Amino acid sequence: MRGFDWDEAKIGLARRAGEGLDVRFHAEDARAALARTEAAADTVLLVDVLHYLPHAAQDELLAWAADLVRPGGRLVVREATKGAGWRSLVTVLVERISRLVRFNLGDATAVRDVRRAYVPILEAKGLSCTVTSCWGSTPFANVLLVATRPR
């Protein structure tokens, strides 16, 4: 397993959590890491990544990630979404504040409707998609997108 995040402090936490396991974590932009990755994977995770990028960069990263998924594999995306009423408003506000105070790093705060923006890209790459809300009792508009490549 390999993981990437812009934030060196968060990578430090991941490294400590993964001690003794066959994992590697890098303080790096995921776009650069995926752009030079050629090895296919059974599972590719994008967790709270896309909304920190401008729309065009989101689409490009999502397409790269989809290309890495082996037959029978999956791409799992946890992402903020538009269209969830007040939860979407709260999520965008909190994300903007988090970037302002540098708790979260990123190029943008660009929350989109996951079903409308991401699913068509993944389906065009041959993956079948399900989108499920995962906010539970939180005030945040997060969804889980699971895109599976047929065997």
Query: pLDDT per residue over 55-80, tens digit each?
Result: 999 999 999 999 999 999 999 999 99
Same domain for 47 and 29? no
Q: Which domain holds residue 3?
A: 1-37
Same domain for 116 and 54? yes
Total count of domains within the chain = 2
Contact by Cβ (8 Å): 139, 61: no
Lowest model confidence (mean pLDDT) among 50-59, 102-111, 128-137: 102-111
C-alpha to C-alpha distances, 148 to 18, 60, 115, 127, nearest whole angstrom: 26, 18, 15, 5
Same domain for 62 and 13? no
pTM metric for this prediction: 0.86
Same domain for 47 and 32? no
The residue to which tokens 């539970």 are assigned: 136
- pLDDT the model gives residue 71: 97
Same domain for 106 and 67? yes
Residue 115 has pLDDT above 90, yes or no: yes
